[in-house]
Amino acid sequence: MSEADPLDIQATFDAQLATALAWRTSTAQQRLRRIRRLRDAMMAQREAFYAAFAQDYRKPPAEVEASEFLPVMDEIRHALGRLKRWMKPRTVWPTTTMLGTRASVQYQPRGRVLIVAPWNYPLSLCFGPLVSALAAGNTAIIKPSEMTPAVSALMGRIVASVFPANEVALFEGSQPTSRVLLELPFDHIFFTGSPAVGKLVMAAAARHLASVTLELGGKSPSIVDASANLKLAAETLMWGKFLNNGQTCVAPDHVYVHASVKDAFVDACRAVLQQRYGAGPAAQKASADLARVVNRRHTQRLASLLADAQQRGARLLAGGEVDEDQCYIAPTLLDRIPAGAAILSEEIFGPLLPIIGYTELDQVIAAINAAPKPLALYVWSTDRRAVGKVLEQTSSGGACVNHCVAHFAHGNLPFGGVNNSGMGSAHGEYGFKAFSHERAVLRASPLMLIKLFFPPYTGRRTGLMRTIVDALRLPML
């Protein structure tokens, strides 16, 4: 893939300035028209997307629908129904010291924004944030991943057919193109990717004091306790883990299972894998329902994690087959993984699932808290006290109880990480706010009580200020 011309990038960025200024006063109807045009152009290329995803990493059409089209369409539908409400200035009540004033919060477009999307869900994680950016009234430059060239090229054609470059533009390329883009003084950067690259993006944004939304990753743990519905847990966890062949930022990275139910849980997981993908290695490799690892380099990385774990004594419970030439790794379950194995410290991002037995929930909570804060945490239990303990004593970007991954699709929930797993939130109104500046607007009234604080500071005026400050120690009514 060739790199984008830096002169073209600069010219496009410059051209978007006038548009961004004009769009500050854009109406909800104008913004929604842009979103509808994007929707219609995307849906017109449905079959072309099937072919592009198949070309890039053999993603099944059903998963293209469920994990690429569905999230974008839901984002669009949400914006079409709620944008007028989101844009409306929000009136706020005065605090005690501001009696006599009127105040509101006004939502302004940030301006020119950059969206840097990853390869694992290239359509959803590119056009989803774009919908939020357009809803908030911004221009946008998009940088998709070079690792999914067929999908990226198709998205580029769609963007060019719908928008002039001074409104929305897409530039293909690899790291050199990304570096050129990150040198520009965007008003906001929305990045989805790894924590390591997220730090570089944040450092680049800091040079221009640009705001950022960072959707990162990490090792998202799952807990299956002794009270859990094991069949349902196995069915759902095997879906969440092996969707997109494990290449999902919120996929369960590893599972802590209570020792008393571990064998039964493993048996249930094996049964699910055989039912969905085939009874043996050959059938699973031939399954049309398994995507491939995105490229050979990532296949080799995953194969290395698997080999390292096995060499250290890990036991293979299912899968384990590797074909680097076809970027194939079978759905794999492992246990008895010793401390020091790389698979326990590195984000897996593939079809390898460590299963770790435990006896005390406190030990699991301590292990989760000793690691960087994950993007997601999943707990399977019918014990309300145990669920409450996990949720109260751990921190993660999001969490699911007796479910996994699905919180990403809930448009009324903020989706995002915390610390190492991200910064800021996306989806629905949260996505609209991510691309908006919440401007505080205060309006004076004829009463103008602030005059009580004007000089000269006489003894009487100073005494009045002391009385007001002392009154603030009282509880709010």
Set 167, 172, 249, 400: catalytic member: 249
- Whether 343 and 354 have beta carbons less than 8 Å apart is answered as yes
Give a three-class secondary structure readout of 77-140: HHHHHHHHHHHCCEEECCCHHHCCEEEEEEEEECCEEEEECCCCCCCHHHHHHHHHHHHCCCEE
Query: Is 215 in the active site?
Result: yes
Q: Is 54 exposed, middle or buried (0-12, 13-18, 19+ CB in 10 A)?
A: middle
Cα dihedral value 375, 377, 378, 381, nearest 10: -170
404 backbone dihedrals φ, ψ, rounded to 5°: -155, 155
- Whether 234 and 269 have beta carbons less than 8 Å apart is answered as yes
- Whether 396 and 374 have beta carbons less than 8 Å apart is answered as yes
CA distance 333 to 431: 36
Give a three-class secondary structure readout of 421-443: HEECCECHHHHHHHCEEEEEEEE
Set 215, 269, 404, 429: catalytic member: 215
Residue 344, CA distances (Å) to 251, 422, 438 in order: 15, 20, 41
CA distance 461 to 51: 76
Query: Is 327 in the active site?
Result: no
Among 78, 35, 72, smallest CA distance to 168 is for 35
Residue 66, CA distances (Å) to 48, 62, 71, 243 in order: 16, 6, 8, 10
CA distance 388 to 339: 29
Q: Half-sphere exposure of residue 312, counting CA atoms within 13 Å on the CB side?
A: 17
Per-residue burial over 271-286, b = 16 or more CB atoms within 10 Å of its CB, e = otherwise: ebbeebbbeeeeebbe
Which run of H or E residues covers position 235?
Answer: helix 230-242
The catalytic site residues sit at 215, 249
